[in-house]
Structure 1
Amino acid sequence: MKYVSLRSGLSSLLFWSVISAAFIGPGTVTTCGLAGATFGSSLLWALVFSTVSTILLQEAAARLTIASGKNLGEILAGRHESHGQTVNYLLAIGVITGCAAYEAGNILGAVAGIQLLFQVPAWLLTLVVGTLAVLFLSIPSTALLTRLLGLVVFLMGIAFVWVGVQSISSLPQLLRDSFVPAFPAGSALVITGLVGTTVVPYNLFLASGIGQGQSVREMRQGLVLAVLIGGLISISIVLGGTLIEGTFSFERAAEVLAQKFGKNGRLLYAIGLFGAGFTSVVTAPFAAGITARTLLGTTPQQTAWVGRGVILIGLVFGVLNIKPVPIIIAAQAANGLLLPFITWQIIRAVNDPALLPPAHRNSRLQTILLYLIFGVTLVLGLNSLFNSVKTFW
């Protein structure tokens, strides 16, 4: 068996850490912190499930591109023949709208991390964070950009994992909660949030878009380790949240950690929150651009403008401190429908003998697991759609 060298493996790990950067944002910090503060470690199993689901779906999407030579958009268009372009336009609108809707929250999350340490006007920090994001996205090399984001993810990970490890009170209980499902009263919405903030639709296009040019073995090694690290960070945030009593907020979490661990607790939480916010500030427009290129075949210049547009929308809402609630509700509803649809298309594509050679098709176990993930995403998607409609009315 041919193994990937250590140097190549570390390089691939940094490269694929952009997936972790994309799903660990301020929303994840909030949801995981709330889960820990409200339900202790009893919902860790939901994160374990969503981490495994992310690995399986991302691997399948990237394998499709590497083995077939076609990106996910081309595959979807081909499967729907005369309606392919229409399907791709609808998917692009849903995914890019979602990226734009959450960009303001990403920016404000990064700003909140800085403000835990320094009292600087929010509008000024918002402009600084937005400018840094534009500079990052102007890096012409995708490989360099993803590796720089990977370094930020590891910095964020060190901060959150240190806090999480210090928060463990019982290792047997931790293991039990990680693998035995529990449904405490009032936890359904939080469980949906834990899965929804980890298994996100645009990451599938991101995996497909950046997977080209790698071998399947190299992709698997880097992607699996990167997502596992992302899952570990999310679990650590939940564990840190178990120390919080009462209503969860970033400031409250920083205060509790400062009381528990001294100044280091507040510093590490601030670094982690800034890292989560900033990586998402960059990856949301990056993923929106990749999605546009994958689904619509945009030129490099058009792709760049899609990313800049997402940042601009986030900056406007961030500077004005306006939460684009209607857009977020629409994005939640769209994502609730997109994820099961795309999951179903991936299941069909990875078993298609006309598309993939036998060595790269799914095994029976992989197919069963993907069907299970499809069922769960369908239930969660319908629930998200129902909640969005109810909130709107």
Structure 2
Amino acid sequence: MKNWFSNIGPGTLVTAAFIGPGTVTICTLAGAQHGYSLLWALILSIIACIVLQEMAARLGVVTQKGLSEVLKSQFDNKLIRFLFLSVIISAIVIGNSAYEAGNISGGTLGLSVILGESNIVIDDFSFNYLSLVIGTIAFLLLYFGNYKILERGLIVLVLLMSLAFTITAIMTKPDVELLIHGFIPNFESDNLFMVIGLIGTTVVPYNLFLHAATVKEKWNNPKQLPYVRKDTIISIVLGGIISISIIISSTVISKNTSIEGVVDLAKSLEPLFGAFAKYILSIGLLAAGVTSAITAPLAAAYVIKGCMGWDIGLKDKKFRMVWMIVLVLGIVFSSLNIKPIRIIQFAQIANGLLLPIITSFLLWVMNKKDVLGKYTNSIWQNSIGFMILLLVIFLGIRGIYNAI
């Protein structure tokens, strides 16, 4: 048992990354607007996430390279390689900078529910000091922490999120019969956009890069793949439980009050279950913001490292410079209450293009025996992977259309 627990870790980075303020908000709105009827979509997104992340993790362990390094090595033509790397760098770095602002803002929402108003207004200038608090926490963990410290810190925060949101869901006392019906697929047209949103917040392109890069920090032998799979499955399922708990909570609470966001959900808990309930949910939101604020810059740094062929570690100046840029941009946009609409639109377009492209290349590489040897995809893995590819192509087109 001790040996098994010692092999848990990298998968929690994936969970920490996709359970951010965006996921919390989407799940809150899904529950408030559609009740339990979209729980099946979460199950679908969890399965898709597990399949793709397992491939990325297997690639990282077997090759001892990151996803960007492996993909780059498959292109002999310099022009194609340049274009491919340009798309990846643009989507990951600029996109993560935009989403980092959302991660930090989400963390400040959790603190503001507890501490109250956090904006400092001087004439026409408004400044949110809590953004600096969240940003400083993320900076200290990234700057002074080695991989083991980051991993253990994120494990604690993910467990904290799990407890906070699960306790909140239990306190709402959901109708079990209606809850079970929510896991039966329902393809009504008015649910389509929310289904896409739930899947899009779970299956994230930069997580594939992050997972492939970090597993080799812990494992270096294909014989350890059973541990890799257990870590991946447990971590992502844990993230799914968090998302399900948020939908349950918002479904029940929305029957008594209007909910337009997670802050409304937190405040609505107080008159029904006491002040402590509000604080439990706020702590969960704070943890979601901090974990995503750490993993988004970290993922960007790993991607650039692989694309540029840098043989460096977490403490190297170039590695630190990348995540610092992403983190600082996030703090600036968040603290000044600037809504980076254009940047977010670009991020949506870039990620809408990137996810189908990366999924396609991942499936292609996972079938190359000269890369993976006997650890290539099985028939069922390819079948499920191809269905997921069709799904993310549709998701990407929808995301680009919405952004434009």
State the TM bucket, normalised to the shorter chain: over 0.9
Q: Is the 8 A contact 2:87 2:354 kept in 1?
A: no
Residue 153, structure 1, aligned to residue 148, structure 2: no
Q: How far apart in 1 are the matches of 2:335 and 2:210?
A: 28
Query: Per-residue displacement from partner, 1:253-309 (whole Å, max 9, x unpaired)?
Result: 112212222122201111111111111111111111111112222443212111000
Secondary structure in 2 matching 1:277: helix
Partner of 2:324: 308
The alpha carbon displacement at 1:12 in A equals 3.2
Which of 245, 248, 252 is residue 239 of structure 1 equivalent to? Answer: 248
Q: Which moved more, 1:312-321 or 1:121-130?
A: 121-130
Residue 134, structure 1, aligned to residue 139, structure 2: yes
Partner of 2:349: 333
Residue 46, structure 1, aligned to residue 41, structure 2: yes
Kindly report which structure 2 residues correspond to 1:108-119, keeping only aligned pairs within 5 A, or say none.
Answer: 108-119=105-116
Q: How far apart in 2 are the matches of 1:50 and 1:151?
A: 24
Partner of 1:78: 73
The alpha carbon displacement at 1:127 in A equals 1.1
The alpha carbon displacement at 1:388 in A equals 1.1
The alpha carbon displacement at 1:169 in A equals 2.8
The alpha carbon displacement at 1:168 in A equals 4.9
Which of 8, 15, 19 is residue 24 of structure 1 equivalent to? Answer: 19
Q: How far apart in 1 are the matches of 2:205 and 2:34?
A: 27
Partner of 2:292: 280
Query: Per-residue displacement from partner, 1:35-60 (whole Å, max 9, x unpaired)?
Result: 00000010111111111111111110
Q: Is the 8 A contact 2:91 2:351 kept in 1?
A: yes
The alpha carbon displacement at 1:159 in A equals 0.4
Partner of 1:192: 196
Q: How far apart in 2 are the matches of 1:286 and 1:127?
A: 18
Q: What is the TM-score when the length of structure 2 is the normalising length?
A: 0.91
Q: How far apart in 2 are the matches of 1:175 and 1:12?
A: 33
Could you tell me which runs of 5 or more consecutive residues in structure 2 were left unpaired when the two chains were aligned.
Answer: 120-127
Partner of 2:366: 350
Q: How far apart in 2 are the matches of 1:69 and 1:285?
A: 22
Secondary structure in 1 matching 2:65: coil
- Counterpart of 1:12 in structure 2: which amino acid? N
Partner of 2:335: 319
Partner of 2:381: 366
Q: Is the 8 A contact 2:65 2:213 kept in 1?
A: no
Structure 2 vs 1, CA of residues 252 and 140 (structure 1 numbering), >3 Å: closer, same or farther?
A: closer
Q: How far apart in 1 are the matches of 2:23 and 2:362?
A: 25
The alpha carbon displacement at 1:345 in A equals 0.8
- Counterpart of 1:101 in structure 2: which amino acid? A
| Count, aligned residues | 382
Partner of 2:99: 102
- Counterpart of 1:264 in structure 2: which amino acid? F
Identity over the aligned pairs, expressed in percent? Answer: 36
Q: How far apart in 1 are the matches of 2:381 and 2:15?
A: 22
- Counterpart of 1:209 in structure 2: which amino acid? A
Partner of 1:171: 176
Which of 56, 59, 65 is residue 54 of structure 2 equivalent to? Answer: 59
The alpha carbon displacement at 1:185 in A equals 4.9
Could you tell me which runs of 5 or more consecutive residues in structure 1 were left unpaired when the two chains were aligned.
Answer: 1-5
The alpha carbon displacement at 1:11 in A equals 3.3
Partner of 1:35: 30
Q: Is the 8 A contact 2:13 2:211 kept in 1?
A: no
Q: How far apart in 2 are the matches of 1:128 and 1:169?
A: 35
Q: How far apart in 2 are the matches of 1:251 and 1:132?
A: 22
Q: Is the 8 A contact 1:9 1:221 kept in 2?
A: no
Q: How far apart in 1 are the matches of 2:52 and 2:145?
A: 28
Secondary structure in 1 matching 2:57: helix
The alpha carbon displacement at 1:184 in A equals 4.0
Q: How far apart in 2 are the matches of 1:8 and 1:357?
A: 27
Q: How far apart in 2 are the matches of 1:366 and 1:125?
A: 44
The alpha carbon displacement at 1:81 in A equals 2.0
The alpha carbon displacement at 1:140 in A equals 4.4
Q: How far apart in 1 are the matches of 2:145 and 2:174?
A: 46
Partner of 2:123: none
Q: How far apart in 2 are the matches of 1:13 and 1:47?
A: 23
Query: Per-residue displacement from partner, 1:314-371 (whole Å, max 9, x unpaired)?
Result: 111112101100000110111111111111111111111211122x111111111001
The alpha carbon displacement at 1:64 in A equals 1.0
Structure 2 vs 1, CA of residues 168 and 297 (structure 1 numbering), >3 Å: closer, same or farther?
A: farther
The alpha carbon displacement at 1:192 in A equals 1.2
Partner of 1:3: none
